[in-house]
Structure 1
Amino acid sequence: MRVGAHVSVAGGVDNAVDNQRDVGGNCGQIFTHSPQVWQHPNVDDDEAAAFREGTAAHLDGPWVIHSSYLVNLCTPKTDLREKSIDSMQREVDAAEELGIEYVNVHLGAHTGAGVEGGLDNAASALDELDVPEGVTVLVESDAGSGTKLGGEFEHLAAVRDRCDHDLGVCLDTAHAFAAGYDLSTPEGVDRVVAEFDDVVGVDDLHCIHLNDSKHACGTNKDEHAHVGEGEIGVDGMRRIVNHPDLRDLPFVLETPTEDGKGFAWNVDRVHGLRE
């Protein structure tokens, strides 16, 4: 089973390997820099080599780089679009340097361009990237508030279909639940996976952000909970990690650190749900 967490790179990106091992993970996700500012990935050659060597020696993989929260691929604003493309280019280049397979990105908000306009903007922005061989960009499902896109599976499929690159998809369970896809029962999980397969195709699903939700289905509220302790609950989470179309995918936790529980507790919880 491949399960891990989004861990810190404080002190050097190579520290992520030990941070992942400390929580019991064997795959995972990182930011290459603070996600709240426009900043270039801070990776030197020695750190990159140590990261690659540590990963090969101790982890199963894969790793995912999560792009900056400031990136907005759907925007109609020229300056923000250019900054977003530049940021994404630097992330895919960092992924190549680190030997990381995936760069994950939210589509962003169309802010008045309309759904179709926003989806076109996102696809054409991604087309501007020079994606290195061995790196795949994943578009992530969203909770769907305001003018943000990605809350509907159709949005993910549309960008995938309109883009010249071979994009993949990352499904965030808390986001999908908040967007109205009910994952709280085994039957619900089966229905959602079948719908995803019909609209997007499970062959293009490369990663799952495994998060429970503090808010009810369809509320569009994005707040993560510990695995099995939110509104999705134990039954839904158990089916997700055991569903035949999902069980072999990497599960990456973005769960909170609160109530005396952190990533290690959640990794153990996921293993305990495995059948």
Structure 2
Amino acid sequence: MKVEKKPLIGAHISFKKEDQLLGSIRDLLRINATSGAFYISNSRAYKKTLLLDQEKLKEAKKLAKANNFNIENIIVHSPLVGNIANIEKDQITFNLTKQSYLSDLKLMEKMGLKLFNFHPGSAKDKKLGILKCAEGINYLIENTKDDHTIICIETMMKKGNYIGANFSEISEIITNIKDKERIGVVIDTCHIWDGGYDLNNFNKVLDEFDQKIGLKYLKGLHINDSKNPLGSNKDRHQNIGKGYIGLSNLKKIIFHPKIINLPKALETPYGKDDFKRWKEEIDLLLN
């Protein structure tokens, strides 16, 4: 009997100081995840206070290996504070953001994690903002020269002064990156839907991504439904199958043969029992 290939799928869970990666792996296994996502530092603060527990790190890797879970399929999300496209003259925000992201990347390398995902920031002058974002990424790559981490730009939507609202803007950022082996992209389904990319025809969207950016740069996806109609530019995530994108479209996306092997993580709204909901949503997508 032929066994159907299953996509890599998980959810954005917690990374708590007390159990660190070990706790995250346990939580991902609870929901039958094969990939996942989390912050490894306070998402609302620049300053890092985490001291890596080497014994728990060893336990985490042992647990992951015993359950055939590849920790390189975890997408680490950057802190939400900061703006790496900040073009203000004082450069305070830009410099704080760079140092915050660099701290996370150094921690990731010590833990054996690979994919670092960040919002490309915002600027009133898009052209300058794109150049500033690229400058920040080049700084991060240059200061992690011997590392294996890949710095991934997240797709955004046309909200405020966001950069990365379309594939062309992301392509412009990548054009200005010196070491393109260390750069990638993470697609957020809610973001691109709200930004006007019609996921009723994912083949067409993926073709456009390939033409403007290149599929080789696609390293992972955030799988979310949307509370708003196509092109709303509002960025309001919805639970799987309860929004305007719909279960059928999201299933086609995660099972698409060109991206089935890429790590995917739910960022759907939390409920009273997060783990029960995430497990149900993963089952819903896979079956």
* Structure 1 position 5 matched with structure 2 position 21: no
Secondary structure of 2:132 counterpart: helix
In the TM superposition, 1:58-207 aligns within 5 A as 58=67, 59-61=69-71, 62-77=73-88, 78-110=91-123, 112=124, 114-129=125-140, 130-131=143-144, 132-166=146-180, 167-183=183-199, 185=200, 188-207=201-220
The Cα offsets for residues 47-73 of structure 1, whole Å up to 9 and x where unpaired, read as 333333333332134112100001311
Report the CA distance between 1:259 and its aligned residue.
Answer: 8.0
Count of residues in Structure 1 that have an aligned counterpart in Structure 2: 267
The equivalent of 2:267 in structure 1 is 254
> Aligned partners of 1:154, 1:71: CA distance in 2, in Å?
23
TM-score normalised to the size of structure 2?
A: 0.88
Give the aligned partner of residue 264 of structure 1.
Answer: 279
1:49 matched to 2:49? The reply is: no
Percent identity between the two aligned chains: 24
Shift of 1:226: 1.5
CA separation of 1:50/1:161 partners in 2, compared to 1, >3 Å: closer, same or farther?
A: farther
Structure 2: which 5+ residue stretches go unaligned?
1-6
Instruction: Quote the Cα distance in structure 1 between the aligned partners of 2:47 and 2:39.
Output: 11
- What residue in structure 1 maps to residue 223 of structure 2? 210
Q: Does the aligned pair in 1 maintain the 2:165–2:195 contact within 8 Å?
A: yes
Indicate how the Cα distance of structure 1 residues 27 and 151 shifts in structure 2: closer, same or farther if over 3 A, else same: same
Which of the residues 24, 28, 52 maps onto 2:32?
A: 24
1-structure distance, mates of 2:41, 2:272: 27
Equivalent position amino acid for 2:70 in 1:
D
SS in 1 for 2:75: strand
Q: Which ranges of structure 1 fall in alignment gaps of 5 or more residues?
A: none
Counterpart-to-counterpart distance in 2, 1:120 and 1:18: 40
- The answer on whether the counterparts of 2:41 and 2:104 sit within 8 Å (CA) in structure 1 is no
User: What is the distance in 1 between the residues matched to 2:121 and 2:101?
Assistant: 13
> Cα distance, 1:235 vs. partner?
2.4
Q: Could you tell me which amino acid in structure 2 is paired with residue 38 of structure 1?
A: Y
